[in-house]
Structure 1
């Protein structure tokens, strides 16, 4: 197989303690994930699992305590601010909340042209590029002179996607990009991500808490639990026939229309949850015993 575009190996992220006597927080523990050009790798887990921290580490927003983050053969885990800004043309991000990520005082044309003009693109060329970007995300060209508040949530997320595409990146970190949208809008935005990838060849590291969402868009899926990868493999396999008990719990948490099946899934999930809690308690007791010894 070809060399990965993004290669994360044995990554640790440890946040320093707050206040006197505090304990450092070990957010990621020996995490390894890779993303190839043109591929979508879904990163799924519940709140606090570490999935967003991994995306932030790729973007240079979380400290790399150990291990490596390699992009296109280059270690980017400890770049200086100027080097990180230079990398922005190749690695972009789409955030969860499309409204807070867009400057409410700027028009859509100004928002989309900003990364271009920063790099010296003249006004006429930037405006032509903005029109092309709006077309790519299926928004009319007359959107250019309107403000973000004039658009729906789904439309605002399309604008955020257009901004991420402005510099033709090779990799986009998608941090829960559809979780704030209703189900029908989610489906349309996910289809847009897929369409853009097929046309441009961009790769996605797609962070979500929803197994159904990553099933829809991902070629491979990594499942995170308490700062570790517990399952990583083919998207269809992981999301439909999971092997790890935690992934099975995520799978069973997805609702189904049949009441009898839903009741059985709920019972199965409770059984797996009780087994996991018992295993965690046993591991904690063993750790305490080792420390006392």
Structure 2
């Protein structure tokens, strides 16, 4: 295990609810996987983890594993992933990489994350060498600048009794809500069809393209399922909601730095059958469309009488 990974596992320099460079450095450490054999890597979870491994973490680590078997001039342009079982944050995760194809322009990798002898996550990723082609993109919505918006901590401070567990988690990503957060609209009766946040890594990242892509992948799972919940006026920890990511797809369109502000514009076109679908677009501050994401999540609202719902 690398020195960075050991520090992350020990939770060094991290306090409850902290942010800033020290917390971001621990995220970088989590993404610095240990190579234990050819095409086999091992990752850890932070000590301040919830009951299950955060989906963005396992997706980011799996993408690191895939990227370390690909020439650096080939950059990831898409990933498709399934969350198969809840991950155990108390034990390491082993990532097994299958080299599916190395073509003249594209490289394909498949990664399976394993714990306790069983697959918990599977990812397929495609990498491409840079080449010219057609260019167009949707325009970025008009939104206020991130510096004019309250910080995440300031938003939570407006509701001192809400989300006590969320307040304790270290936050490597600086998040600024453009619209009112879901825990606010839940009380006001609004049912927004759209959720918009500014995001950036809360510090400075090294000049490593793969790392920036993996940090954005990590961040992409942070507010995405807020969109279907907000449309129904319910929210994590405030209502009896049982939720988990089921699958996740990302397409990377243009280069970016994850330690610079990007707008995450998400909405939910559908919810049915105990599942909610959410789509999102990432824009740079100067309006470039950086990436597109789609995720379906398990969303079960438990009955108010306390009857438990089945968990998979």
TM-score with structure 2 setting the length? 0.23
In terms of fraction of residues, the more helix-rich structure is: 1
In terms of fraction of residues, the more strand-rich structure is: 2
TM-score with structure 1 setting the length? 0.24
Q: Tell which has more relative contact order, 1 or 2 (C-alpha 8 A, sep 6+).
A: 1
